[in-house]
């Protein structure tokens, strides 16, 4: 009976980030359950950050299933003693000032070139992300919405044509 109640818990939004970044896509349901259990022990941002910096084997057969990685608390592994350097800050004129803090968590994962390409001409007005074209708005939403919602939970996407 307890298992049925546990499976009815709402999915944590960070799980989709975890699943998207995990290199071996096997056992999503088991991974979801293990992720929910892990949240009792650690903040989801720790799991995501560690996963993104984790050094997995090159051969897929040696990469554990996501549920195994979570159940074994691999986010606590000491996989490297070298520290990953922080990326250089974006130039002031590359992005609208309102958007810089919003895209900061994306920079390590996608790089400055992608950030500059997709977020140039985009600004933030309260909880409204305003792009300069419908295509750019749709692409940002499709590619980066889960990441952006970690910063602003109730983010709305729009483009200049929506405004009167």
Question: What is the CA 141 to chain-centroid distance, rounded?
Answer: 13
pTM of structure = 0.47
Count of CA atoms in the C-beta half-sphere (13 A) of 39: 15
Determine the pLDDT at residue 121. 86
Count of CA atoms in the C-beta half-sphere (13 A) of 54: 24
Determine the pLDDT at residue 9. 55
Determine the pLDDT at residue 164. 42
Domains and CATH numbers, the chain: 2-76 (no CATH), 100-162 (3.30.300.180)
d(CA 164, CA 66): 47
The DSSP output letter for 116 is H
Higher pLDDT, 49 or 160: 49
Asked whether the beta carbons of 64 and 47 are under 8 A apart, the reply is no
What value does the mean pLDDT take over residues 117-140? 89
Average pLDDT, the chain: 81
What value does the mean pLDDT take over residues 122-146? 89
């Amino acid at each position: 009976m307890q298992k049925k109640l546990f499976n009815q818990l709402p999915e944590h939004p960070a799980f989709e980030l975890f699943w998207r970044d995990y290199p071996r896509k096997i056992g999503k349901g088991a991974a979801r359950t293990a992720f929910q259990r892990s949240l009792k022990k650690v903040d989801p941002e720790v799991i995501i950050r560690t996963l993104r910096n984790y050094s997995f084997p090159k051969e897929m057969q040696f990469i554990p299933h996501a549920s195994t990685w979570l159940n074994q608390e691999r986010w606590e592994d000491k996989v490297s003693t070298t520290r990953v350097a922080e990326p250089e800050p974006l130039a002031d004129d590359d992005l609208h000032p309102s958007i810089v803090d919003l895209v900061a968590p994306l920079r390590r994962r996608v790089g400055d070139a992608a950030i500059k390409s997709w977020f140039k001409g985009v600004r933030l007005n309260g909880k409204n992300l305003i792009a300069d074209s419908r295509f750019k708005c749709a692409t940002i939403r499709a590619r980066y919405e889960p990441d952006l919602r970690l910063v602003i939970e109730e983010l709305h996407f729009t483009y200049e044509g929506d405004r009167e």
